[in-house]
Amino acid sequence: MICSAASGALSGAFLTVPSGDWTTLPWLTKFFRARSPLDQDATENTESGPSHAGHRRTAPGETLLTTALDTTRLPLRERQEAWIETTALASVTQRFTFQEPDAFRARIDIGHLGSSQLSMLSYERLRSQRTPRLIRQSDPEVYQIALIMSGCQVIEQNGRRAALGPGELVLFDSSRPFDGWVDTDGGRARSVIFQFPKTTVPLREKDIADLYARPLPARQGIGSLLNDLLSGVIKAHDGLTPYDTVRLGNTASDLTTALLAHYSEAMASVCPETRHHVLFIQATEFIGRHLHDQALGPTLVSAAQCVSTRHLHRVFKQAGTSVAAYIREQRLNRCRQDLVNPSLQSLPIGAIGARWGFSRHSVFTRTFRTAFGVSPSEYRDVSSRHP
């Protein structure tokens, strides 16, 4: 994909939000009734509206993400102003230049993860700038890590320019100026942004400054784990409790910290709790991909993570389980899913067990009965009679 927008400033209408009582805007008040911990000291900005994000907390059983802006519901004349106002609340204050101001389309969905925030943005070609003046007027002092889902995006910060495509992550600092371009090849750019207070990152700013506006892979290593988590929350966010969202926020923060520490070679400064949490996630992800391997066990898992078996056992114990118990539980869950799968009704019981790493039919049957109180064949029969 060619990032043609990066060759120069986009033509189009340059807009800032007019000063005044922004809370009267009908499309905004519905979605930002309460401020988050990130903006309790926010004040209004005379150049581009309120300083940064505020949103409702998730109530039990609610959907995590709330649509803060959908321009298809607005008249054309209100869309650009709505985008500028909403991004100021949901992110940081910026200046925008719109390539096609008369036909701009965009959508913003926002969710609260403890003290952090997750946003899903969809938008057309534009240029965004965060200037020193805007930073002086309002700075929430947050980091943002963006996962590029579609479109070509170019960002300049800290003297570096990066061209980014789908499957890449990039780190921003709200306290430093940036300049960004988006080219969509006629469609929309999409990105997921995880925003979190700088105070939650146990790394020195000078250690990670070289990572600003630097492409980070989201399809390998720790980046792939963060990618899976953020994408998973976006796809399956209904019915989360407030406690779920806090735990997800903590996990995302730990993975982000580990990612930054890895690429800044500052892992030694990360607290043991965070390192253990990330190791547990990496180990369980490895286990999930190798359940079919009958040799899967603590030795294989620890070797894949480059840690001692003893250390791996200690990390799993801190999580309230053991390596062997976790592997057994995951294998049984996969077998149980296969037993009730209509397309696998003709597959023998022993073959299902072998498919997920049980070496012998008798071992599979005994382990399944111990866990669920019935044999695999009885479980399949009952499920077929009561689908």
Q: What is the pLDDT averaged over residues 46-56?
A: 36
pLDDT score of 334: 94
The superfamily in CATH containing domain 4-268 is Jelly Rolls (2.60.120.10)
Q: What is the pLDDT averaged over residues 203-208?
A: 85
Residues of the chain with CATH 1.10.10.60: 271-387
Report the alpha-carbon distance of residue 364 to residue 328 in Å, rounded.
10
What residues have CB less than 8 Å from 107, skipping those under 6 apart?
A: 67, 69, 70, 71, 72, 120, 121, 122, 123
Degrees to nearest 5, angle at CA 81 with 78 and 85: 130
Residues of the chain with CATH 2.60.120.10: 4-268
pLDDT score of 103: 82
- Please write the tens of the pLDDT for every residue from 279-321: 898 899 899 989 999 999 999 999 888 889 999 999 999 989 9
Provide the β-strand partners of residue 95. 129
- Please write the tens of the pLDDT for every residue from 83-123: 999 999 888 999 999 988 778 899 999 998 988 999 999 99
Q: Is 90 exposed, middle or buried (0-12, 13-18, 19+ CB in 10 A)?
A: buried
pTM: 0.63
User: Which H, E and C letters describe the chain, residue by residue?
Assistant: CCCHHHHCCCCCEEECCCCCCHHHCHHHHCCCCCECHHHCCCCEECCCEECECECCCCCCCCCCCEEEEEHHHCCHHHHHHHHHHHHHHHCECCEEEECCHHHCCEEEEEEEECCEEEEEEEECCEEEEECHHHHHHCCCCEEEEEEEEECEEEEEECCEEEEECCCEEEEEECCCCEEEEEECCCCCEEEEEEEEEHHHCCCCHHHHHHHECCCEECCCHHHHHHHHHHHHHHHCCCCCCHHHHHHHHHHHHHHHHHHHHHHHCCHHHCCHHHHHHHHHHHHHHHHHHCCCCCCCCHHHHHHHCCCCHHHHHHHHHHCCCCHHHHHHHHHHHHHHHHHCCHHHCCCCHHHHHHHCCCCCHHHHHHHHHHHHCCCHHHHHHHHHHCC
Query: What is the torsion angle, in degrees rounded to the nearest 10, for the CA atoms of residue 143, residue 44, residue 189 and residue 67?
Result: 100
In 3D space, the residue among 128, 219, 244 whose CA is nearest the CA of residue 178 turns out to be 128
For the cut 80, the answer to whether the pLDDT of residue 7 exceeds it is no
Q: Starting at the edge strand that comes first in sequence, how are the strands of the sheet with 168-173 ordered? A: 66-70, 106-113, 116-123, 189-197, 142-150, 168-173, 216-217
pLDDT score of 207: 83
Q: pLDDT class for 269, splitting at 50, 70, 90?
A: low
pLDDT score of 323: 95
Give the CATH fold of the 271-387 domain. Answer: Arc Repressor Mutant, subunit A (1.10.10)
- Average pLDDT, rounded, for the chain: 81
For the cut 50, the answer to whether the pLDDT of residue 20 exceeds it is no
End-to-end CA distance of the chain: 47
pLDDT score of 384: 72
With beta carbons less than 8 A apart as the criterion, state whether 189 and 166 touch: no
With beta carbons less than 8 A apart as the criterion, state whether 281 and 275 touch: no
For the cut 80, the answer to whether the pLDDT of residue 41 exceeds it is no
Q: pLDDT class for 186, splitting at 50, 70, 90?
A: low
Q: pLDDT class for 183, splitting at 50, 70, 90?
A: confident
